[in-house]
Amino acid sequence: MLYKISKLRRQLLHQRASIDSRGASFRRKLIGLTLGLPIVLLLLFVVFGGIWIFDYYRDVANQVVEPRRLLDQYSRGSARIYDRNGELLYQFVDPAEGLREPVPLDEISSWLVEATIAVEDPTFYANNGLNSTGLLRAGIENLLPWFSSPTDELFQGSGGSSITQQLAKNIYIPQQQRFERSYLRKMKETVVALELTRKYEKDDILVWYLNSISYGGPYVGIEAAAIAYFGKDSNDLTLAEASLLAGIPQSPAKYDPFSPVNFDPSTGQLVWGSPAKFRQRTVLNLMVRRGIITEAQADATLKAPLNFKTVEFDIEAPHFVLGRVTEELLARFGTFAIYNDGLEVTTTLDLSLQKNTERIVDNTIREKGEEAGLFNGAVMVLNPKNGQILTYVGSRDYFRDDIEGRNDNIISLNSPGSTLKPFGYMTAFMKGWGTRTAVLDTPLVLMDKETETEWRPVDPLDYWVGPLAAAESLGNSLNVSAIKMALFAGVPDLLQVLRGMGYTTLDNPQGYGPALITGGSDITLFDHVIGYSVLANNGIMRGQFVLDETSVDEGNRSIEPISLLKVTDFSGETRFISNQFEERQIVDAKYAWLTTSILADGDNQCLVYATCDRLRVLQGYPTAAKTGTSEPFARESMPGQEVGRLVGETWTMGYSPNIVVGVWAGNSDNAIIKDIYSTTVAFPIWKQVMLNSIERFSLQADEFIRPPGISEVEVCWPSGRLVTPECPDFLREKSLYATEILNNIMRVSVSERPAKIVTATPVPKLTSPDDLGSLEDSTIDEIKQSPAAVGWEVGKNYISPIDGWWQMVIVDWRNGSLAVESTPDEFRRSNLKLIFPWNEISEWESIWGWASSKGVQDFIPWSDFVSEPTTLDEPLVSSGSTASNDSKKLSGSAESTALPTELKYPMPHQILSGRAQIMIDQTRSDVVTRVIELQKVGQDSWTILSTLREPIPQEHKFVWDTELFADGEYILRFTEFHTHEFRPESYYQIPIKLENQVSGAYQGFRWIDLEDYQMVTGLKEFQILMSGAIPLNLEARIGAGNDTVGAYSRTLIDNVGSGKVVIPVDSRDLEDGIYTLQVILYSNDAPVANGSRMFVVNNKIR
Which pLDDT score, from 0 to 100, does residue 75 have? 58
- According to DSSP, residue 107 is labeled G
**Percent share of the chain, pLDDT over 70:** 77
The confidence band for 26, taking pLDDT boundaries of 50, 70 and 90, is low
Please give the torsion angle defined by the CA atoms of residues 617, 621, 624 and 628, in that order, rounded to the nearest 10 degrees: 0
950-960, pLDDT tens digit by residue? 666 667 788 98
Between 458 and 469, residue with greater pLDDT: 469
Span of 321-325, 461-465, 1048-1052 with lowest mean pLDDT: 1048-1052
The confidence band for 183, taking pLDDT boundaries of 50, 70 and 90, is low
Helix (H, G, I), strand (E, B) or coil at 1098: coil
Confidence check: pLDDT of 852 > 70: yes
The verdict on residue 68 lying in a domain is no
Sheet architecture: strand order including 1019-1027: 1004-1007, 1019-1027, 1059-1066
Whether residue 793 is found in the same domain as residue 873:
yes
The verdict on residue 53 lying in a domain is yes
The confidence band for 95, taking pLDDT boundaries of 50, 70 and 90, is low
- According to DSSP, residue 756 is labeled P
Confidence check: pLDDT of 687 > 60: yes
> In 540-645, which residue ranges form alpha helices assigned H by DSSP?
589-599
The sign of the torsion formed by the CA atoms of 902, 907, 913, 915 equals negative
Helix (H, G, I), strand (E, B) or coil at 430: helix
- Cα angle vertex 624, ends 621, 628, to 5°? 140
Report the pLDDT averaged over residues 180-190: 72
Look up residue 767 and give its amino acid.
Answer: T
Residue pair 793/772 in contact (Cβ under 8 Å)? The answer is yes
Q: Which long-range contacts (C-beta less than 8 Å, at least 24 apart) are formed by 951-955?
A: 951/925, 952/920, 952/922, 954/921, 954/922, 954/923, 955/904, 955/919, 955/920, 955/921
Whether residue 222 is found in the same domain as residue 245:
yes
Q: What is the CATH number of the domain that holds 905?
A: 2.70.50.50
Which pLDDT score, from 0 to 100, does residue 48 have? 55
The verdict on residue 858 lying in a domain is yes
Residue pair 262/341 in contact (Cβ under 8 Å)? The answer is no
- Domain boundary among the residues 285, 303, 321 is at 303
Residue of 1029, 1040, 1026 whose CA lies nearest to 1080: 1026
Instruction: Please give the sequence-ordered ranges of beta strands (E in DSSP) within 329-465, or none if there are none.
Output: 344-347, 376-383, 388-393, 438-441, 446-447, 454-455
Cα–Cα distance for residue pair 459/465, rounded to 1 Å: 10
The verdict on residue 538 lying in a domain is no
476-523, pLDDT tens digit by residue? 999 999 999 999 999 999 999 999 999 999 998 888 999 999 999 999
The verdict on residue 215 lying in a domain is yes
Residue pair 686/625 in contact (Cβ under 8 Å)? The answer is yes
Whether residue 271 is found in the same domain as residue 142:
yes
Which pLDDT score, from 0 to 100, does residue 926 have? 64
Cβ neighbours around 755 below 10 Å, total = 17
Cα–Cα distance for residue pair 673/665, rounded to 1 Å: 10
Between 289 and 881, residue with greater pLDDT: 289
Report the pLDDT averaged over residues 464-480: 95
Whether residue 1050 is found in the same domain as residue 1090:
yes
Q: What is the CATH number of the domain that holds 208?
A: 1.10.3810.10
Whether residue 978 is found in the same domain as residue 1014:
no
- Domain boundary among the residues 872, 891, 910 is at 891
What's phi and psi for 237, nearest 5 deg?
A: -65, 135
Whether residue 246 is found in the same domain as residue 267:
yes
Whether residue 1063 is found in the same domain as residue 960:
no
719-771, pLDDT tens digit by residue? 999 999 999 988 899 999 999 999 888 554 333 333 333 433 332 222 233 32
The verdict on residue 591 lying in a domain is no
Indicate the number of domains in the chain.
6
Report the pLDDT averaged over residues 544-548: 88
Task: Look over the chain and give the mean of its residue pLDDT values, rounded to a whole number.
Answer: 82
Residue of 587, 626, 628, 597 whose CA lies nearest to 497: 587
Cα–Cα distance for residue pair 393/316, rounded to 1 Å: 10
pTM of the model: 0.78
The confidence band for 169, taking pLDDT boundaries of 50, 70 and 90, is confident
Cα–Cα distance for residue pair 457/461, rounded to 1 Å: 12
Which pLDDT score, from 0 to 100, does residue 72 have? 56
Whether residue 943 is found in the same domain as residue 976:
yes
Confidence check: pLDDT of 888 > 50: no
The verdict on residue 821 lying in a domain is yes
The verdict on residue 633 lying in a domain is no
Whether residue 16 is found in the same domain as residue 103:
no
Whether residue 743 is found in the same domain as residue 866:
yes
Instruction: Provide the domain limits for residue 256.
Output: 88-303
Whether residue 1022 is found in the same domain as residue 1089:
yes
Which pLDDT score, from 0 to 100, does residue 675 have? 87
Report the pLDDT averaged over residues 625-647: 71
Which pLDDT score, from 0 to 100, does residue 25 have? 62
Whether residue 135 is found in the same domain as residue 212:
yes
- Domain boundary among the residues 276, 303, 330 is at 303
Which pLDDT score, from 0 to 100, does residue 168 have? 81
